[in-house]
Amino acid sequence: MLILGIESSCDETAASVAKDYTEILSNVVASQVEEHKLYGGVVPEIASRRHCENILWVVQKALDDANVTLEDIDGIAVTYAPGLIGALLVGVNFAKGLALASNKPLVPVHHIAGHISANYIAHPELKPPYLCLVASGGHSHIVEVLSYNKFKVIGRTRDDAAGECFDKCARAMGFPYPGGVHIDKASKLGNPEAYNLPKPKVSGGEYDFSFSGLKTAVVNLLHNSKQKGTEIDVNDLSASVQKTISEVLTEHTIHAAQDLGYNTIAVAGGVSANSGVRLAMENECKKHGYKLYLPPLSLCGDNGAMIACAGSYAYAEGIRADSGLNAYATMSLETIFSDII
Ligand code: KG4
Ligand code: ZN
């Protein structure tokens, strides 16, 4: 079974061919990050335009690199939600056209289901059910992965996502966009105990997150020190921010695993590339005797391979879309296929 996966939900135009779910024959990513860096964040209109320019050659290269033609493909999977609406529409409409012209089935993929699937590529032995922490620029979720296509979200952020918090703190410290990776690098030179930052608890949802207070604390700290003319050690502050975010993500995930009786945990999304998050999860899972799955760094961020893999599981379960498929800026992971499975 060969599935072509297409991803355009944010600032990466990506395509990949997956064979039999997890064997990645090609993985092409055209990143726009250098252009968005000029503006300190993703400019949606620019993202849409670049997707339009890149999508044809990215998909063609994915087929070429895999040494296959469109004829060989069994299904065309595409991210249809959530993300920047104009960016998503480029991928969705391209995939619809391609499916129609080639008479191939169209398979809708939820972006977060894609991130979760990145772990199957690196660890084909990982099988549902298990608990997954998904932390990206737009989402912080604790997800019960009930089956390959069925999810229950038991924890979510009430405000900023973990990646968003990394990026906003990084921006306040003067790092370029996207700042998460810069905080990660600076942390290696800093003292994580240097600054005592707030770890907000959320009333109501036991496993929910809130990161906006941490961001505000960092912005205030920098602002006050500027006013007083005192120095802030950016390496120390980075290490303190990274430690706080890593601890919050890990504590909530372990807590959920204990309560719900999971002993297999996975981490997914852009923030799963963070060395502090990976180490905290490794240490805590070891302490509790849990099996931990982390995606390789190459598959943490947005890519086509995760969409081709998630699309393969959806295709196998008969999940299809027709030319009426729309793109959605927001879409719950729980309701995606509720009418089908
Ligand atoms: O999953 P992703 O590529 O895109 C979304 O779906 O949002 O995640 C991007 C996020 C950004 O906020 C980026 O700063 C963060 O992941 N990120 C990191 C690291 N690498 C990427 N955050 C902390 N440390 C990293 N090493
Ligand atoms: Zn993503």
Q: Report pLDDT digits (tens) over 65-88.
A: 999 999 999 999 999 999 999 999
Domains and CATH numbers, the chain: 2-116+300-335 (3.30.420.40), 128-297 (3.30.420.40)
- CA distances in angstroms from 290 to 155, 238, 264, 277, 284, listed in the order given: 19, 29, 6, 16, 8
Residue nearest to atom 24 of ligand 1 (CA): 274
Mutate to test the pocket of ligand 1, among 9, 10, 181 (most ligand atoms within 8 A of CB): 181
302 lines ligand 1 (CB under 6 A): yes
Q: Are 218 and 241 in contact (CB under 8 A)?
A: yes
Average pLDDT of 239-255? Answer: 98
Whether pLDDT at 143 is above 80? yes
Q: How confident is the model at residue 338 (pLDDT cuts 50, 70, 90)?
A: low
Average pLDDT of 159-166? Answer: 97
**Total residue length of the chain:** 341
Whether pLDDT at 341 is above 90? no
Residue 175 is given by DSSP the state P
Average pLDDT of 26-33? Answer: 97
Which of 18, 13, 42, 17 has its CA nearest to residue 29?
13
Strands 130-135, 264-268: pairing is: parallel
Task: Please state whether the peptide bond connecting residue 178 to the residue before it is cis, i.e. omega within 30 degrees of 0.
Answer: yes
What is the distance between the alpha carbons of residues 61 and 46, in angstroms, rounded to a whole number? 22
DSSP letters spanning 103-131: T--EEEEEHHHHHHHHHHHH-TT--SSEE
184 lines ligand 1 (CB under 6 A): yes
Q: How confident is the model at residue 200 (pLDDT cuts 50, 70, 90)?
A: confident
Quick one: which atom of ligand 1 is closest to the CA of 164?
12
- Amino acid identity at 163: G
Q: How far is the CA of 228 from the centre of ligand 1 (A)?
A: 33
Strands 75-81, 291-293: pairing is: unpaired
pTM over 0.75: yes
DSSP letters spanning 195-240: S-------SS-TT-B--HHHHHHHHHHHHHHHHHT----HHHHHHH
Q: Are 218 and 237 in contact (CB under 8 A)?
A: yes
For 45, residues 6+ apart whose C-beta sits below 8 A from its C-beta are 86
Average pLDDT of 310-320? Answer: 97
Whether pLDDT at 204 is above 90? no
Strand ranges in the chain using DSSP code E only, listed in sequence order: 2-7, 12-19, 23-31, 75-81, 106-110, 130-135, 140-147, 150-156, 264-268, 291-293
303 lines ligand 1 (CB under 6 A): no
Percent of the chain at pLDDT exceeding 70:
98
What is the distance between the alpha carbons of residues 294 and 272, in angstroms, rounded to a whole number? 7
Residue 160 is given by DSSP the state S
Quick one: which atom of ligand 1 is closest to the CA of 139?
7
Average pLDDT of 219-226? Answer: 96
